[in-house]
Amino acid sequence: MKYPGIWPCQDVIRILFEESVMEVLRPQLIRIDGRNYRKNPVQEQTYQHEEDEEDFYQGSMECADEPCDAYEVEQTPQGFRSTVRAPSLLYKHIVGRRGDTRKKIEMETKTSISIPKPGEDGEIVITGQHRNGVISARTRIDVLLDTFRRKQPFTHFLAFFLNEVEVQEGFLRFQEEVLAKCSMDHGVDSSIFQNPKKLHLTIGMLVLLSEEEIQQTCEMLQKCKEEFINDISGGKPLEVEMAGIEYMNDDPGMVDVLYAKVHMKDGSNRLQELVDRVLERFQASGLIVKEWNSVKLHATVMNTLFRKDPNAEGRYNLYTADGKYIFKERESFDGRNILKLFENFYFGSLKLNSIHISQRFTIDSFGNYASCGQIDFS
């Protein structure tokens, strides 16, 4: 909602106060291994240099009331032991700058934490004399891993490819006609159109930081196929149509993303049901962070981020590898005439027979996103 003018100072203070109160009353919940943990609000410091950010530590996690069976803890002759598997890319966040984060956890939980060297795969090993101390350290490490994983840019995504010849030709016809009839409209030019070889339907975005995690994703996708995809698809490709266009924001005169709609040719809801159940399963496993309850089926055909960067990938391209937010200036386009003239444009029909684990910013020999794995319906 947009407000004209400038808000009075007291209104700003009131809003900030209310938001602060809500942070305390309704703290963020982090789901780890099927259990929910409260993430208490803390005042975070902003550091000038990147290396200082590694000293980030969330403070004491409220885990004293957690049952002792929350994690697998092995009793040894020396005490107790628990292990955590994590991508080597995240080790530095457990160590912290000059080892401060690890030392703090060890001191507060009376444990010893062994972390593999950077670049080496292995397990984080927690040992201690007291079982509760080991569990407490494990909880804090898991929360840190989850926190910094969320700061990583997406690396892969689950998708259907829409690069069949009929649809590509339909897309090129759409582009040609739009440029012929609407090129005088503000911001409309050839640079903001999608590459037809990259047309796709995204089911969900993934952060996969190791080959092991890619393999886990392949296995989860295979389980989805066995447990419900075969029943929904009937062991056959889904016959769909790509027809009609829509825009993402609320002002057709200032559009950043225009997309084509995709639906089943038989008018059923099977495609939506299938992708929603895949999303739900991956969210429950923790491989996809829960943002939405349903997949918005759309195939991006125009995106203003392409204007300056043909390889840009929408809203998912706003973070660096270190989790830094990047502000990407974009010039919106006037989509009113396009929406009026091409509202029901028919791009073509195709058969969806595979879900791919696609790697961002990487293309195959056909110019499509490189696939790290897939399942086929037939």
Output the pLDDT for position 21: 45
Q: Among candidates 132, 295, 329, 123, which has minimal Cα distance to 205?
A: 295
| Segment 114-141 mean pLDDT | 92
Output the pLDDT for position 53: 42
Output the pLDDT for position 328: 56
Output the pLDDT for position 377: 97
Burial of 43 (0-12, 13-18, 19+ CB in 10 A): exposed
pLDDT over 50 (residue 360): yes
Output the pLDDT for position 285: 87
In this structure, the answer to whether residues 293 and 254 fall within a common structural domain is yes
Single out the residue in 130, 151, 172 at which a domain terminates: 151
Output the pLDDT for position 37: 53
In this structure, the answer to whether residues 146 and 200 fall within a common structural domain is no
pLDDT over 80 (residue 254): yes
| Segment 212-217 mean pLDDT | 94
- Non-local (6+) Cβ contacts of 29 within 8 A are 36, 37, 38, 39
3-state secondary structure at position 270: helix
Domain residues for the domain of 98 are 74-151
HSE at residue 231, side-chain half, CA atoms within 13 A, is: 7
**DSSP per residue over 294-345, as a string?**
S----EEEEEGGGGT-TT--GGGG-B-TT--B-------B--HHHHHHHTT-
DSSP single-letter state for residue 368: S
| Segment 359-366 mean pLDDT | 88
Q: How many domains does the chain have?
A: 2
Tens-place pLDDT, residues 32-50: 555 555 555 444 333 333 3
In this structure, the answer to whether residues 173 and 93 fall within a common structural domain is no
Q: What is the CATH number of the domain that holds 133?
A: 3.30.1370.10
Tens-place pLDDT, residues 63-94: 433 444 568 899 999 999 999 999 999 999 99
Higher pLDDT, 254 or 321: 254
Burial of 259 (0-12, 13-18, 19+ CB in 10 A): buried
pLDDT over 60 (residue 193): yes
